[in-house]
Amino acid sequence: MSEIVLETRNLKRRFGAFLATNDVSLKVERGARHALIGPNGAGKTTLINLLTGVLPPSEGQVLLEGEDITSLASFKRVKRGLTRTFQINQLFNEFTPLETVALAIAEREGVGHNLFKSISSYSKITDEAASLLAQFGLASVMGERTTILPYGKQRLLEIALAFASKPRVLLLDEPAAGVPEDERHEVLQIVSDLPADVTVLLIEHDMDLVFSFADRISVLVAGAVFTEGTVAEISSDPRVKAVYLGENA
C-alpha cells in the first residue's frame, strides 16, 4: 500500500513579510501513522490550517486522494474524509458533549439540514454518540455543559469530536497536550487502534509518544521540510538533535 492520500505541492503561506510555510511538498501514504515534528514556531499548526482550509495558502496546492482541494471550504474537506483536532480546544461551550457529538454525527450522516425533525428522534445518532463518548471516558459527563468540564475531559471531547466525523485522514494537533501524563498513551492507543486504512498525521512535542506511535516522521524547521524518514532514521539523525537542542539552548 503506497497510495498517496494527502499531498501538498510547493505550499507557501505568508503573513506580511513572514513566510510561515515555505515551499512544503509533503506526501502522506494511505494508512500511514505520520508524525510532524519541529521546534516551536516551525509552522506546524499553520501547515495543518492550510491542509484543512482554515487558512488559504499564498501559493501551492493541497491534494486529497489525488484531487485538488486547495480552494475547498473546510466543511467540504470534512465531507471528503479529512478532519482534525485543534491544539487549543475548539468546542461549543454551551453544548453538552452529547449534543456536540450528536451534531457531528448528524452532519456526517447528511441530516444536518433537516429543519423540522427533532434531533432526539434520530435514535441511531444518539446511540452512536453515547458509545463514542463512553469510549473516551466521557459517558458520565455527557449531559453537562462543555464549558464547566475539567480541561482533561474537554481535551478528550476535542478528539472524540474528530472521530465522530469518521475521517479517512485525521490530523491531530498536539492531541496529548493537557491530557494528564498517565492517560496520554491511552489517548494515542485509541488513535493507533483506528482501522488500518485511516491515515493519521500527528503533531506532537513528546518525542517518546512520537517514536512509539509513528512509522514515518517529517521534521519542519522555519516553515520548510528539514528532513523526512522512518523513526529509526530520524531518531539517529544528529542534525535533528541539533535543531532541537539549538532551539532549546
Binders in 34-73 for other proteins, by CB under 8 A: 52-56, 73
CA dihedral 242, 243, 248, 249 (to 10 degrees): 50
Cβ atoms of 166 and 197 within 8 Å: the answer is: no
Residue of the chain from 4, 19, 177, 190 that contacts other proteins (CB under 8 A): 190
* Alpha-carbon span 109 to 208, nearest angstrom: 37
Q: Closest approach of Cβ 133 to other proteins, in Å?
A: 8
Q: Closest approach of Cβ 244 to other proteins, in Å?
A: 27
Residue of the chain from 30, 60, 152, 235 that contacts other proteins (CB under 8 A): 152
**Residue 91, CA distances (Å) to 87, 135, 156, 175, 217 in order:** 12, 19, 11, 14, 29
Output 56 or 246, the one with its CB closest to other proteins. 56
Site string for other proteins, 169-188 (x = CB under 8 A): --------------x--xx-
Output 4 or 54, the one with its CB closest to other proteins. 54
Q: Is 18 in the site for other proteins (CB under 8 A)?
A: no
According to DSSP, the β-strands at 4-15 and 18-24 are antiparallel
Q: Which stretch binds other proteins (CB under 8 A): 39-47, 131-139, 203-211, 215-223?
A: 131-139
According to DSSP, the β-strands at 67-68 and 59-64 are antiparallel
Q: Which stretch binds other proteins (CB under 8 A): 39-47, 59-67, 116-124, 205-213?
A: 116-124
Q: Which long-range contacts (CB under 8 A, 24 or more apart) does 239-242 make?
A: none
* Alpha-carbon span 197 to 136, nearest angstrom: 21
Output 25 or 192, the one with its CB closest to other proteins. 192
Give the Cβ contact number of residue 56 at 10 Å. Answer: 10
Output 111 or 245, the one with its CB closest to other proteins. 111
Q: Closest approach of Cβ 23 to other proteins, in Å?
A: 18
Give the Cβ contact number of residue 20 at 10 Å. Answer: 21
Q: Is 238 in the site for other proteins (CB under 8 A)?
A: no
The C-alpha cell at 103 is 451534531
Output 10 or 93, the one with its CB closest to other proteins. 93
Q: In terms of DSSP H, where are the helices of 114-237?
A: 123-135, 151-164, 181-192, 207-213, 231-235
Output 116 or 248, the one with its CB closest to other proteins. 116
* Alpha-carbon span 112 to 215, nearest angstrom: 37
Residue of the chain from 63, 119, 222, 231 that contacts other proteins (CB under 8 A): 119
Residue of the chain from 3, 10, 15, 197 that contacts other proteins (CB under 8 A): 15
Q: Closest approach of Cβ 52 to other proteins, in Å?
A: 7
